[in-house]
Structure 1
Amino acid sequence: MAANTTLLRDAYDYVLRRFEAPAVNVPGIYHDLAHTRETVEAGRNIAEGLGLSEKEVIVVELACWFHDIGYLDSRSEHEQKSADIAETFLRERDVDPDTIKSVRGCILATKIPQNPENLLEQVVCDADLSHLGSPEYSRKNKLLRTELEKNSGKTFTRLEWLQLNIDFFRNHEFFTSFARRQFNQGKTENLISLYEELREKKTAKKKTKKKEKRPRKTAVWKEIWRCITEPPRAIMSASARSWIRRQTS
């Protein structure tokens, strides 16, 4: 027990130093220390809620601590980098090969689309995306959008971002029974909020398009009135003549 506590404390200290290092190459706005801590807490709660053994809970917590550490070095394939960093850390502390293999598997399983092959991997995957069912979802989602736009150079319209998130929600399911009980209600509420905002944005967009069309019609009426009130030499524009033909045909 004492050895496990020391290992977890060492893992926390290592991850903390890495995230707070002044020479971090790729600053995380969403993938940061706060997200890591929240994932560890969620992973521990899910693991204990499922009645996993102490050793299994340790594996889950270690994987959660390291699951995004590779993002500090590279956004591309950061799960692989995270697994490599975790393995090096654990080997240096003489952790047994089976535990190292389990931690690696849990980290690699978090790559989107998630593909866990056993219960421990399912727990870590559910912990990583637990914010989908959290009251903090909206705030976290804004952080993720800001990070993606900053790192990719691509700007999403609000409609594009809403549709992207709705599609992600519809294709996602929590793997463990505990996570479904814990997060599904909140996830449904967050999805409803996304749908409602999408509908509002589309309605507003339609209204804007209608307003944009009105000036063109008004301009035609002004042209007709000019031709009626000005001397006969006034010549009606082609657009006004075309509009009159459509109305009288």
Structure 2
Amino acid sequence: MNDILSKTEEYATDLLTKKLDSKFLYHNLRHTQRVVKSTKELLNFYNLKDEEINAITIAAWLHDIGYTVSSSDHEEHGAKLAKTFLEGLNCDANLVHTVCGLILATKMGHSPKNLCEEIIKDADCSHFGQHSYLETSELLREELTLLEIASFTRKEWRDKNIELFRTQHHYYTTYAKENWQPIKDENLQGLLKKKKKNNKLVKKEKLKVSLKNKSPERGIQTMFRVTMRNHLKLSDIADTKANILLSVNAIIISLILANLIPKLDNPSNDYLVIPAAIFVIFSVTSMIMSVLATRPNVTSGEFNKEDVENKKVNLLFFGNFHKMKLEDYEWAIQELIKDQEYVYSSLTKDLYFLGLVLDKKYKLLRWTYTIFMIGMVLSVIAFFVALKFYGPERIIELPT
């Protein structure tokens, strides 16, 4: 009999290694070895006859070889293969019949008729009562997808396993109930916890979406934030343009003072007085307007409680509170944040007055660049006319 067991193990190992499709991630040699190990664990607990022990062990090795033929009705295919193999070894007819019956007993939904069938059934589902169940179960889910038998999401697979644990599966042997059932219960609790956690996350996301859709708060805040940022960028651009023009005119005036003005003391250079005056006047005017465009305008910086209560003061602009005491300003801010309408009103006023400042800046800048351009053109024309009609007979080259 030991010879038959060793040949059975060799036959099953060879068949499941060489002829089984690689898509079988769960129903493979590893699963068969796990079932055989669980079978021996159960057999060590029960005092069975040698014939029963041998039949159950052989059935454990051969119970899934039918998958090498087809993924459907694999128990029937496995029983046929087992019968052919055992008959080839000249095994006793009773042993062949018993082994085939045990293989067919592993079919889902079959109710075991005796202890031997209970043992093989419990051994085949021993992974339910093992700590590695989640990893093993995931392999089965992937196998079903690869074989195009069924496709489950992780959530659907978890729900299906919960239903299986609760209503479709239970252990039959006393040993399995005492030793494997507690771990199976732990696995079920783990699945339920994951489901509960997932449900909470789903509800939380749905609530976020609902609040986002129902409440315009986020959209309003985004609108104020983007508009304020754009206004500040435009203000920075205006200040940069004014500073550029201020710097250019300062350099021009410095060059004129250093190189041209000293030459005007000579009577022979009187023809350059008017062009130089035009040049300096327009440059100075451009500088003055550039300064006006960037010059800050600070208000009184004070308010009273009546202004806050009547919502007349904008507490978000520093020019309205820079002279107030900290305690008064803190009180005013607390009053502001209590009233949502007051907050939006203050933000609106802030944007409005910032817009007025930008309008003033850009109007001044437009006039400044226009005056600078006109001044450059007139100055060049004036120098040309002066040199052409009023200058000396030959043009004196000015030092650089």
Q: CA deviation at 1:25?
A: 4.0
The CA RMSD measured in Å over matched residues stands at 2.1
Q: CA deviation at 1:157?
A: 2.2
Q: CA deviation at 1:154?
A: 3.6
Partner Cα separation in structure 2 for residue 46 and residue 216 of structure 1: 59
TM-score, with length taken from structure 1: 0.84
Specify whether residues 221 and 195 from structure 1 end up closer, same or farther in structure 2 by C-alpha distance, changes over 3 A only. Answer: closer
SS for the counterpart of 1:175 is coil
Partner Cα separation in structure 2 for residue 52 and residue 210 of structure 1: 60
2:98 aligned with 1:98:
no
Aligned to 1:109: 105
Unaligned regions of 5+ residues in structure 2, if any?
225-343, 349-400
The answer to which structure, 1 or 2, has the higher relative contact order (CA under 8 A, 6+ apart) is 1
Does the CA contact (< 8 Å) of 1:48 and 1:57 recur in 2?
Answer: no
Specify whether residues 65 and 183 from structure 1 end up closer, same or farther in structure 2 by C-alpha distance, changes over 3 A only. Answer: same
Structure number with bigger Rg:
2
Aligned to 1:24: 20
Identity of aligned residues (%): 32
Does the CA contact (< 8 Å) of 1:70 and 1:78 recur in 2?
Answer: yes
- Residue 63 of structure 1 aligns to which amino acid in structure 2? A
Aligned to 1:80: 76
Q: CA deviation at 1:26?
A: 6.2
Q: CA deviation at 1:215?
A: 2.5
Does the CA contact (< 8 Å) of 1:28 and 1:72 recur in 2?
Answer: no
Q: CA deviation at 1:219?
A: 4.3
Question: Across the two proteins, how many residue pairs are aligned to each other?
Answer: 224
Which of 46, 49, 53 is matched with 1:50 structurally? Answer: 46
- Residue 113 of structure 1 aligns to which amino acid in structure 2? G
Residues 50-107 of structure 1, C-alpha deviations (whole Å, 9 max, x = no match): 1112221111110010111111221100011111111111101111111111111111
Residues 116-162 of structure 1, C-alpha deviations (whole Å, 9 max, x = no match): 22211111000000010011111111111111122126432222111
Partner Cα separation in structure 1 for residue 189 and residue 109 of structure 2: 22
Spell out structure 1 runs of 4+ moving beyond 3 A: 23-27, 218-223
Specify whether residues 217 and 168 from structure 1 end up closer, same or farther in structure 2 by C-alpha distance, changes over 3 A only. Answer: same
TM-score, with length taken from structure 2: 0.53
Partner Cα separation in structure 1 for residue 219 and residue 117 of structure 2: 70
Aligned to 2:214: 217
Aligned to 2:157: 161
Specify whether residues 35 and 128 from structure 1 end up closer, same or farther in structure 2 by C-alpha distance, changes over 3 A only. Answer: same
Aligned to 2:56: 60
Partner Cα separation in structure 1 for residue 76 and residue 106 of structure 2: 10
Aligned to 2:182: 185
Unaligned regions of 5+ residues in structure 1, if any?
231-249
Specify whether residues 211 and 100 from structure 1 end up closer, same or farther in structure 2 by C-alpha distance, changes over 3 A only. Answer: same
Matches within 5 A, 1:98-137: 98-137=94-133
